[in-house]
Amino acid sequence: MNKHNIKALLRQGADEKNRILCRTYFKYDENYFYFFPLEVSDKFFLGVEEDDFILDGYTVRRIKDIKKVEHKNDICLEILKKEGITDNIEVPDIKLKSWKSIFKELRKMDRNIIIEKEYIDGAFYIGRIEEVYSDYLIFRHFDGDGNWLSRPYRIFYEHITSVTWGSRYVDIFSKYIGEPPEEKEEHDL
């Protein structure tokens, strides 16, 4: 599927009055994901992920990583509408110009997020943005035991495939780990 058709289907799905659930296939994953697209730019799309009749967080992903998009206009969409789930969708004010603009907006939210680099061994980071630069960001990460790492990571935008916030996983985990440490020492990845 070409980039033009992918963006057209995502934009149709993002119509606020007639939202359409999109089954989205990515080059780095054999599984597909369901999103309600909210905003689409030339390089990125912002969507809210749907999983078994639950909206599970916002995500920004790169258009160039999408293999195929299909509209899922069936009984599931009808149920989501009848249950009022689509009525609760809010569109965050995120500028989809570049990773830098996206992370600047997310940093203002001052909340934990997930950053993924699916092409690089499925790398997954959860934590908080400390600084945003033109080619990379400084990110304070916590591990699977909820321990903040002592040094932040430098994550280059060219490797990032997605960023997620407001998901059950990150929000519930974040309630129990406390605030990140104050040290500002950098660590390269």
pTM: 0.91
For the chain, what are the domain ranges?
3-88, 99-188
Tell me how far apart the alpha carbons of residues 28 and 131 are, in angstroms, rounded to a whole number.
28
Bridging pattern class, strands 153-156 and 187-188:
parallel
3-88 CATH pick, 1.10.3470, 1.20.1260, 2.30.30, 2.40.50: 2.30.30
Bridging pattern class, strands 136-141 and 113-117:
unpaired
Cα-Cα-Cα-Cα dihedral sign, residues 138, 143, 146, 150:
negative
Strand, coil or helix: 173 = helix
The tens digit of pLDDT for each residue in 25-49 reads: 999 999 999 999 999 999 999 999 9
- Of the candidates 147, 144, 143, 140, the residue with the CA atom closest to the CA atom of residue 186: 140
Question: Hey, what CATH topology would domain 99-188 get?
Answer: SH3 type barrels. (2.30.30)
The tens digit of pLDDT for each residue in 140-186 reads: 999 999 999 989 999 999 999 999 999 999 999 999 998 888 765 55
**Residue 178 pLDDT:** 87
Alpha helix stretches (DSSP H) within 139-180: 168-174
